[in-house]
Chain A
Amino acid sequence: MNTPLFRAEGLVKHYNGQRVVDDLSLAIAPGECLGVIGPNGAGKTTTLRMCLGLVVPDAGRISIFGLPVPESVREAKKRIGVVTQFDSLDPDFSCAENLRVFGSYFGLPRALIAERVPRLLEFAALQSKAGARPGELSGGMKRRLSLARALINDPDLLLLDEPTTGLDPQARHLMWERLKALLQQGKSILLTTHFMDEAERLCDRLVVIDRGRKIAEGTPRGLIAEHLEPDVVEVYGEGAAACAAEHGALAQRVETSGDTVFFYLRQAHRLLDVVAERRDIRTLHRPANLEDLFLKLAGRQIRDDA
């Protein structure tokens, strides 16, 4: 790895006596997209807020572009773009004004802002909405305006907190396409998400966190290869439980969640052959994905605090 653009070491944060971030270390190389994945309440947002100097860690060290945070965070922020989990667009301003006013917070010259605003509106596919206020925009448009706003200072590092949560499939795909374009331009991205498909598509490297701790780290494919069997057969229906009891031995690992049985296997064809005749079940054969990884590492149970 090149010299990291961003490095956090041994971060710890407590709230009300509870450890929400527990000895967490992260690093991002120039041009890299690092995904931090974990369930709600895993400590993702708190970690991002520590990186922005908005939350003071109880222990640990952060440096961005070689600048210590929080001491020199103001200097570092000149080269950072942030998209928060919840839109914080100015409701009284039009889309173009939102970008212009945000540019003024960076002390950018007016001429430079005027030059960037139309290009960013185009990038966000919002040219026709330049004069519209955020209240008139759809959820996907608002997110893209938030992304455009985060780009007004032409940042080297983007911090994105769940950028596609709550969006419909079309809007998510458009967002992903834009983020890929930014990576191609050489920008670095730190992305938090709980969507495994999003992490798989965008991220070069992943850190899986749960209850504030790092539980795995690696490339998306590497993590799956390391922790999981390559094939998954999901079995649904009345006969699912009986099927698990009879054919469990054919799989390396079997998990039951509600009425569904998951067979994790190196070779799926033998299992598929023997269950093909059964009328009381339906099957789905697919490759293992990050969701399986996450469920294996973090468990399937729903938590009170999530």
Chain B
Amino acid sequence: MKTTDAPAPPPIFAPPRVSPRCWPVVLRNWLVWKKLALPSLLGNIAEPLIILVAFGYGLGALVGRINDLPYIVFLASGSICMSTMYAASFEAMYSAFSRMQMQKTWDSILNAPIALDDIVLAEMLWAGIKSLISATAIAAVLVALDISRAPTLLVALPVLFLVGLTFAGIALVFNALAKGYDFFTYYFTLVLTPMTFLSGVYFPIDQLPRWLQQVAAVLPLSAAVELVRPLVIGGRPARWWQPLAVLLVYAVSAFWIALALTRRRFLR
């Protein structure tokens, strides 16, 4: 019997081959979320609300104004970015890992005419959408509490969607490497938590030592805060293309790396 040579497997870093076929997968996650929408939304609003009340009103009375802003406005504009980051990261780690590893949802989707690249893109889009939903809920709270009523708040929402996509992409890199849920704890405590303190959420970056400021300058969360804070206040971000470029570079390269590592995990 003759043995024919099979085509060489495509290298894992081959360009993404995505298609509109990813939409039914996004929709699938949306349908599941809809079943638990209310408790999920309440959870998303409760935490930032607690932070705002405790730090904003409590600490704000001691701190006074920062950069000519009431502390609660300063904090609110930072914490909406932080909440978006956490919402996207949770979804693209714990929830995506459940679908990928525990429920074998990805495996069943792969039996339909949908490729792995589409599934990874769908997970990134869905985590972005979910984080946008919670960002919108928080924005509504800011309006309700009269913390911000700036019309530019509406411009902040698409920016926050990009922030969600970026952190979803980074989370999917770790998802592709994970052997279990424990692994994600390291990411949250060693990467995300320190990042919130270096990104101008609670206090301005210029309070940091010079070398840490340089680190902060390239962090995706500080880029997010740099864009969103002026929009919450009602202004326009200065040199907006810089932080926007930082977010885009993170989003695109994270997606590509996540895709490569997921291919390595699946297509052996």
Chain A interface (Cβ < 8 Å from any Cβ of B): 9-10, 12, 15, 23, 25, 52, 54-61, 70-71, 74-75, 77-78, 80, 82, 84, 86, 88-93, 97, 101-102, 104-107, 149-150, 153
Contact = CB atoms under 8 A, between A and B. Distances in A.
B194 interface: no
B113 A25 contact: no
Contacts of B189: none
Contacts of A153: 112
Contacts of B28: 90, 101, 104
A93 B31 contact: yes
Contacts, number: 91
Nearest to A78: B113
Contacts of A82: 111
Interface in B1-39: 1-7, 9, 21, 24-25, 27-28, 31-32, 35
Contact of B3 (A54, A60, A70, A77): A60
Given A9-B4, A92-B35, A105-B113, 15 more contacts: A23-B1, A56-B9, A59-B6, A61-B6, A74-B114, A82-B111, A84-B107, A84-B108, A84-B111, A88-B105, A88-B107, A90-B28, A104-B27, A105-B109, A107-B113
Contact of B103 (A61, A75, A78, A90): A90
Nearest to A12: B3
Contacts of B104: 84, 86, 88
Contacts of A12: 3, 6
B110 interface: yes
Contacts of A60: 3-4, 6
Contact of A102 (B3, B5, B31, B108): B108
A80 B9 CA distance: 23
B190 interface: no
A52 B111 contact: yes
14 contacts: A54-B110, A54-B267, A55-B268, A56-B6, A74-B114, A75-B113, A84-B107, A86-B104, A88-B107, A89-B108, A101-B24, A105-B113, A107-B21, A107-B24
